[in-house]
């Protein structure tokens, strides 16, 4: 795919003695939202962690914006403009919401140095972040923590946003709020790669889809085509949208 911002070619990843990824080929188009789907244990989270350099590929290459990032360290990869929200959300529980945001705003030394316009935009997307600004992040609910995790990822302009299961464990009302927020993020031109188990979440947001099984991408295409093919969904995911 020529307009791909992120590409993985034949990526293998080992974790200790375990061979998790068996040659992942994936292209994430620029300015679009790509959904990475698959059953539990298919290798989705490992793929994201390999992109971020948290685990290194033992074989194959990862390219971002034309640059080979396979051997770069995690901070070097983040410096290129990739934001990552892990499945655990990675919230610093002992820090306040403000301190969590300040840490992600790398150029700011104090809260007053953060980009005010961008903060207002984030507060509009996620009002809970403003409401609980001075509260310990560890005391937030699961949904509020997820909002903070995504807010932290977008507090600085980034080229690529990688989010691992943003709807996991959230109430339906919060999921709808998340969908609206990601739709607005997508409209702002950010390239997004989402791992998701909630198929309705995926269907409502995704432009493209890649399905993983046994450490490989077994299907890639548009979400519209995937949604229109119940047989394909049944064979790849064991369900129909």
Partner 1 sequence: MKTLDFDWKPLLLVPVLALLALPLVGSTSTWLTLTVAGLAMGMIVFIIASGLTLVFGLMDVLNFGHGVFIALGAFVATSVLAAMGDWTQSQSILTNLVAVLPAMLVAMLVAGAVGLAFERFIVRPVYGQHLKQILITMGGMIIGEEIIKVIWGPAQIPLPLPEGLRGSWLLGDAAIEKYRVLAVIVGAVVFALLAWTLARTKIGLLIRAGVQDREMVESLGYRIRVLFIGIFVAGSALAGLGGVMWGLYQQNVIPQMGAQVNVLIFIVIIIGGLGSTTGALIGALLVGLMANYTGFIAPKVALFSNIALMVAILLWRPQGVYPVAGSR
Nearest distance from residue 154's CB to partner 1, in Å? 12
Reading the block at residue 120, the tokens are 């207002």
Identity of the residue, 155 or 185, whose beta carbon is nearer to partner 1 in the bound complex: 155
Among 25, 99, 115, 213, binds partner 1 (CB under 8 A): 99
Smallest gap from Cβ 49 to partner 1, in A, equals: 9
- CB of 103 or CB of 240, closer to partner 1: 103
Q: How far apart are CA 108 and CA 196, in angstroms?
A: 32
Select from 57-65, 105-113, 120-128, 227-235 the region that touches partner 1 (CB under 8 A): 105-113
Which two structure tokens, joined as six digits, stand for 220?
């890639």
Token digits for 5? 């911002």
Considering only 66, 75, 112, 117, the residue that binds partner 1 (CB under 8 A) is: 75
Among 10, 41, 59, 88, binds partner 1 (CB under 8 A): 88
Among 114, 178, 110, smallest CA distance to 142 is for: 178
Instruction: Please give the residues from 124 up to 183 whose contact with partner 1 meets the rule CB under 8 A.
Output: 132, 134-136, 138-139, 152
Distance (Å, whole) CA 134 – CA 126: 15
Closest approach of partner 1 to the CB of residue 106, in Å: 6
- Spatial neighbors of 87 by CB under 8 A, at least 6 apart, are 45, 164, 165, 168, 195
CA distance 108 to 201: 34
Per CB under 8 A, residues contacting partner 1 are 52, 54, 73-75, 78-79, 84, 86, 88, 90, 92-95, 99, 102-104, 106, 109-110, 132, 134-136, 138-139, 152
């Amino acid at each position: 795919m020529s307009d791909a911002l992120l590409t993985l070619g034949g990526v293998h990843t080992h974790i200790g003695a375990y061979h998790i990824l068996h040659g992942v080929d994936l292209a994430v188009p620029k300015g679009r939202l790509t959904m990475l789907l698959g059953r539990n244990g298919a290798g989705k989270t490992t793929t994201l962690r390999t992109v971020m350099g948290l685990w290194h590929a033992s074989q194959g290459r990862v390219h971002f914006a034309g640059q080979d990032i396979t051997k770069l360290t995690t901070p070097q990869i983040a410096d290129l403009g990739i934001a990552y929200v892990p499945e655990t959300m990675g919230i610093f529980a002992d820090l306040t919401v403000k301190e969590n945001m300040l840490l992600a705003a790398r150029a700011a030394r104090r809260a007053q140095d953060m980009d005010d316009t961008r903060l207002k935009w984030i507060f509009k997307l996620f009002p809970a972040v403003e409401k609980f600004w001075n509260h310990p992040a560890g005391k937030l609910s699961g949904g509020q923590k997820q909002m903070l995790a995504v807010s932290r990822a977008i507090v600085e302009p980034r080229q690529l946003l990688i989010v691992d299961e943003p709807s996991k464990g959230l109430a339906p009302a919060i999921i709808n709020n998340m969908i609206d927020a990601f739709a607005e993020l997508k409209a702002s031109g950010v390239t997004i790669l989402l791992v998701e188990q909630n198929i309705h979440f995926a269907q409502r947001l995704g432009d493209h889809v890649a399905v993983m099984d046994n450490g490989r991408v077994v299907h890639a295409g548009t979400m519209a085509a995937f949604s229109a093919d119940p047989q394909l969904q049944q064979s790849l995911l064991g369900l129909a949208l």
